[in-house]
Chains A and B, each alone.
Chain A
Amino acid sequence: MDILVVLEDNHGSLHRMSKEAVAGAQKMGGTVTALAIGGNAEALAGELSDIDLTEVITVNHRLVSSYNADGYSEVVKQVIESESYLSIVAGHTYQTRDYMPRLSAKRGIPFIPDIISFDADGFVKQVLNAKLNAIVSTSVETFILSFQSAAFSDEDLIPGSCASRPFEVNLDASMVRSETEEPFQEDAGDVDLESAELIISIGRGIEKEENIPMVFELAEALGAEVSASRPVVDSGWIESFRQVGSSGQTVAPKLYFSLGISGAIQHVVGMKGSKNILSINKDPDAPIFEIGDYAVVGDLLEIIPKLIEALQTEKNS
């Protein structure tokens, strides 16, 4: 099977999930080629020079020097039309979600998104807020796949070597209808969640803003950083730079201590690499328990003050 992995530029370097996508594609078998688009295409290709790929195709055209959905979907379309790839693979990133459906509609080929694994029966995708898994199959030869964060590991990349080859695309200004401004960051905080060893993370189960200080007290007693799931950030109870999940940060601490987080997939993708996961939730069926090492079923508002007390006693002993 001939696979084309479309790479993503993450502020000048190769997106973590692009490496995972290459690892997943290699696992699928057959020949794997990568495609890098934009002003940094050569640099991105360089990051894969010691990986077993047929080649990295690079496209650098002024209309796609930075990302736009019109241009990117057209570029991938032209590349796959000139060669004969059967599957197009990418990480299930925000960018992939933005333009891959355009390619799907342009070519009439299905886009099977957010895959966590595959076998002979088909591709496995989480459905119904990750409470069930579905096996998705396709009846056609050519299709697009995107892999969920951490579905595959860049540690499994097959080493080798590959060269890059520039590809001439045929784009004119009328094809790119959008005017795109520079990306920017809002309130970047000084909390470094990505390198934190201990993280206490709060979800909707914290119930109200008045309960937040208690969590910071617990964090102080434990020497942990505080993060949160999206609903808590959306409520304005905590700063957005503390958000963990698909729209926030990806963390992998020694201990992820979750308080009142149900475990929606959008959150789980940001923390499932944690070494130890300890969760408190009053719902015994909360999906977060499925991925956890320790599942405490109980009322966190009752447990937290007692735990703070116990930790202080422990410290003084």
Chain B
Amino acid sequence: MKIAVLIKQVPGSESPLPLNSTQTWVDEAQVTYTMNPPDNYALEEALLIKEKVGDGEVVLVSLGPERVKKVIREGLAKGADRGIHLEEDSQIETDPLSIARSFASVLQDENFDLILTGLQSDDTGMGQTGVLIGEFLEMTTATLVVETKILNGQIRIKRELESGWFQWVKLPLPSSISIQSGLNTPRYPSLKGIMGAKKKEIRVISASEHQSATRAQAIDQVFVPQTTKKTEVIEGNADTVVARIVEILKYDVKVL
């Protein structure tokens, strides 16, 4: 079982997010980065599948500037076998079709049985890269997957639908699957894993080798959302706050 896991490096949930001078994205110099949390679940699922099947390879694939090597190393330390780094000159690529074409051009020669992705990235949240790649490579696709079972030449997956509904779907391999967060408990790297990761291969693909020239969509500007609602901020010690809450419940919302 040869599995590719797409991992993205994104600003951490606690990171400051000051805008850059052109207001086209955040100021990268002031951002602290982390592995996109949904991708961490995809990686764990890949490692579990490899362990269950008994043989195979888990390959991490990441697109971005030099800094993304950090998340590739992190994944290698957790047990992935090797990495592929698609170099990117710009700070952030925001066109899902060209991102997917880059990945597809690199992945097609490797003949993966399975491509796993997180359901969406915590930065741009376009939520489509895995499915786009699947279509480009003529693989079957499924999203929001909460359980996987490898069968002979097939994968049986449980898809999460809305409002507490689920559905089992059987797909022939090769398949590109996007994983719902929370389906497993991602492991931490062991000390042995961290040491071993340094020796594992990271193949670097330069931007000119994978990038296409066309861009169908772009983020032109980012801004801090303006609240239209007037929010009353209540501060103070617990007693003051409780007294105000009771007033609100009684006189404003009128539920007491």
Residues of A bordering B, CB below 8 Å: 10, 68-70, 73, 93-95, 97-102, 104-106, 108-114, 121-122, 125-140, 143, 177-188, 197-198, 222-223, 230-231, 234, 240-241, 243, 246-250, 254-255, 265, 276, 278, 284, 289-299, 302-303, 306-307, 310-311, 314
Contacts and interface: CB of A to CB of B under 8 A. Distances in A.
Nearest to B221: A135
Contacts of B160: 94, 247
B17 A102 contact: no
Contacts of B229: 290-293
B240 to A, nearest CB: 9
Given A177-B140, A291-B227, A303 B124 contact: no
A121 B220 contact: yes
A101 B97 CA distance: 9
A305 B220 CA distance: 48
A185 B161 CA distance: 9
Contacts of A299: 238
Given A114-B125, A136-B218, A180-B169, A307 B242 contact: yes
Given A97-B143, A101-B128, A126-B125, A110 B95 contact: yes
B165 interface: yes
Interface in B28-63: none
Interface of B: 11, 13, 17, 19, 26, 94-97, 100, 122-128, 131-132, 134-136, 140-144, 159-172, 180-182, 215-225, 227, 229-236, 238-239, 241-246, 248-250, 252-253, 255-256
Nearest to B224: A132
A276 B167 contact: no
B143 A293 contact: no
9 contacts: A98-B141, A98-B143, A114-B125, A181-B168, A185-B166, A230-B182, A250-B163, A254-B253, A298-B235
Contact of B250 (A113, A129, A183, A314): A314
Choose among A10, A127, A143 the residue with the greatest number of B CB atoms under 10 Å from its CB. A127
Contacts of B224: 131-133
A295 B234 contact: yes
B128 A188 contact: no
B166 A186 contact: yes
Given A97-B128, A127-B222, A310-B246, A181 B17 contact: no
Given A105-B136, A185-B165, A294-B248, A122 B97 contact: no
Nearest to A275: B253
Contacts of A295: 231-234
Given A129-B13, A129-B122, A137 B232 contact: no
Closest A-B pairs by Cβ, 7 of them: A105-B135, A101-B131, A101-B128, A234-B182, A110-B216, A179-B170, A110-B217
Given A104-B96, A104-B132, A138-B216, 15 more contacts: A102-B131, A105-B97, A133-B225, A135-B219, A137-B220, A140-B216, A183-B167, A231-B182, A241-B164, A254-B253, A293-B230, A294-B234, A303-B241, A303-B242, A306-B239
